[in-house]
Structure 1
Amino acid sequence: MSDILPEPFVIDRGSMRIAGDRWVAQASSKAPIMLLHGGGQTRHSWDRSASALAARGRDVYTIDLRGHGDSSWAADGDYGIDAFVGDLRHIIETIGRAPVLIGASLGGITSLCTAGEHSGTAAALVMVDVVVHVEPEGIDRIKAFMTDHIDGFATLDEVADAVTDYNPGRERPRNLDGLKKNVRLHDDGRWYWHWDPQFIMASGNEPRRHTDPERLGAAARQIDIPTLIVRGGQSDVVSEAGVAKMRDLVPHADVADVSAAGHMVAGDDNQVFAAAIDDFLDKYEF
């Protein structure tokens, strides 16, 4: 891991405040790396990956998407894909360099649309358990996990139980303090996920409105930068058939299978995930 400590930063986009962390490598000439989390997560889901990439001499950014973590909640309840893409483009313009976009789930969808619809925005694209044709049952299970706990939790133990129920293959944490990066204690004494409930409740089809195959397919066909698709071998969101269709859309894409991981690839098997990212970066010498 890197000895570089992350520096918090804030980027304003009108009334929207986007929060993030930056690991600054000294005199780095390589493309920066930007890590975008999935729906219902925060930038801290990438902390281990960001630190490891910084140790390789990279400038690394982790971002809280709108409505998540320390970023603003949308006053108008706008959590459509256009809003996420607009935020990401503004962040990249502020940084002033085209990054390697690494996105998981919602972060990967946002990265795909940004890179495909706005040429020159990104130097490369890594989609973590993201394809155009996802499995509806897996998306519905994510939605159920998020909506089942809108009313919060009485204790951190209940939070840990909920995470374990969703992802039984991952070891239940012994120290629950790490969960405080994803939940907040409110005045009523209950713990709530650190994201705006409107993100999931604004539409009866959430989060499926982010997985429109027509739009995602059109974006994928325009991808002309180095691309890596990382699939969790145990994922119920991305199937082998989904990956095969993705390769038809982006023929030049590399594919890495993290066999022991589910949808939360980096958290389930960070070592294998990190090796896949390293191989990709080395191959194209970013």
Structure 2
Amino acid sequence: MRMESHQATRTAFATADGLSLAADVRHASGAPTLLFAHGFGQTRGAWSAASATLAARGCRCITFDSRGHGESDRAPDGDYHMQQFVDDLLALAGAQPEPPILVGASMGGLLGLVTAGEMRPAPFRALVLVDITPRWETAGVERILAFMQAHPDGFASYAEAAEQIAAYLPQRRERKSEQQLRPLLREGADGRLRWHWDPALLSGGLVSESERYQPRLFEAAAKVNVPVLLLSGERSDVVSHHTVEEFLALVPHARHAQVPGATHMLAGDANDAFTAAIAGFIESLEPAGVQ
């Protein structure tokens, strides 16, 4: 397949409650459409390499910052709940010329499960879950939240932030440069650099009510009727053999592939293997419109 370069075009989507979500589109005339939903505490930048690779393969790729993340608007009242994120995802999918294939990591995957399971017709042509299942390993999630909560006063420099990320992601060989960190940090009035996410995300209902969401996730997953690919990291501490087996029993038509050497941060750890798995999954799907 011929590989072409497609630069990202900045755009924005309006939510039902008046927020603006920052987004990028790569290969505007490509097909199929892939809609990428990032994990809690991430930005659309987490998909930069993957979306560039898949756009070069001919796909139309849309990445966006969820509400309260990155360059998207924050909730004025600091109140965040799962249904708001589900509604945002549904609106984004509905704005596309055809039902997109959702690629959802962690939180983004859970939102995709709920949306695909509860809506008829499903708003997605297919679903790719990136290292997430309806039941997760608590220790892995607690590690992520501990990192997000560890530096409320921010950092004095980009070098200090890079050092903390390197300690959190020891499997990565290269430290992030200042250029790579700029989209992830905001400079406050005090000159300190703080993470891009709204601190209210950590104290709101999205986190505190997460365990209560599991019955809804299981019920929705059992109703998913579109093709599903679950990609897990070999070294993930969020998804385990047990949670994968439980999910495959719940969604028997789902496929599963494990990416060797990858952790929960699968796309960043092994982009080539990650995109190759998605490309193979796309090629296996029936042409759009064929049931």
Partner residue, 1:72:
73
* 1:81 to 2:87 alignment: no
Q: Equivalent residue for 1:3? A: 5
Equivalent in the alignment of 1:181: 183
Specify the alignment match of 1:200 in structure 2: 202
Aligned to 2:171: 169
Asked whether 1:254 is paired with 2:263, we answer: no
Please name the residue that 2:223 is paired with.
222
Once the two structures are TM-superposed, the CA of residue 167 in structure 1 deviates from its matched residue by: 1.6
Deviation at 1:77, TM superposition (A): 2.3
Matched, 1:37 2:18: no
- Give the whole-Å Cα distance in 2 for the aligned partners of 1:174 and 1:56: 27
More displaced stretch, 72-81 vs 123-132: 72-81
Alignment partners' CA distance in 1, 2:250 and 2:214: 12
Question: Where does residue 160 of structure 1 map in the other structure?
Answer: 162
What's the counterpart of residue 232 of structure 1? 233
Alignment check: 8 A CA contact 2:41 2:148 kept = yes
Offset at 1:143? Answer: 0.8
What are the Cα deviations for residues 90-131 of structure 1, in whole angstroms up to 9, with x where unaligned?
Answer: 112222421000011111111111111113210000000010
SS at structure 1 position matched to 2:69: coil
What secondary structure sits across from 1:95 in the alignment? coil
User: How many aligned residue pairs are there?
Assistant: 283
Tell me by how many angstroms 1:38 deviates.
Answer: 0.7
Partner of 1:17: 20
Contact 1:129-1:265 within 8 A present in 2 as well: yes
User: What is the CA distance between 1:5 and its match in structure 2?
Assistant: 1.1
Unpaired segments ≥5 residues, structure 1:
none
Deviation at residue 192 of structure 1 after TM alignment = 0.8
Amino acid paired to 1:86: D
Question: Which residue identity is paired with 2:25?
Answer: R
Give the Cα separation in 2 of the matches to 1:253 and 1:190.
45
> Cα gap change, 1:129/1:208 in structure 2, threshold over 3 Å: closer, same or farther?
farther
The equivalent residue for 1:50 is 51
Query: Are the aligned partners of 1:143 and 1:206 in contact in 2 as well (CA < 8 Å)?
Result: no
Q: Is the 8 A contact 1:182 1:194 kept in 2?
A: yes
Q: In structure 2, how many angstroms separate the alpha carbons of the residues matched to 1:77 and 1:251?
A: 39
Q: Distance in 2 between matches of 1:211 and 1:245?
A: 18
Q: Normalising by structure 1, report the TM-score.
A: 0.94
Greater Cα offset, 262-271 or 156-165: 156-165
Structure 1 residue 168: deviation in Å? 1.1
Are positions 1:105 and 2:106 aligned together?
Answer: yes
Q: Does 1:241 pair with 2:242?
A: yes
Unaligned runs of 5+ in 2: none
Q: Secondary structure at the match of 1:52?
A: helix
The residue type equivalent to 1:21 in the other structure is: D
Report if the CA contact (8 A) 2:163-2:175 is conserved.
no
The answer to whether structure 1 residue 62 and structure 2 residue 68 are counterparts is no
Cα pair distance change 1:39/1:210, threshold 3 Å: farther
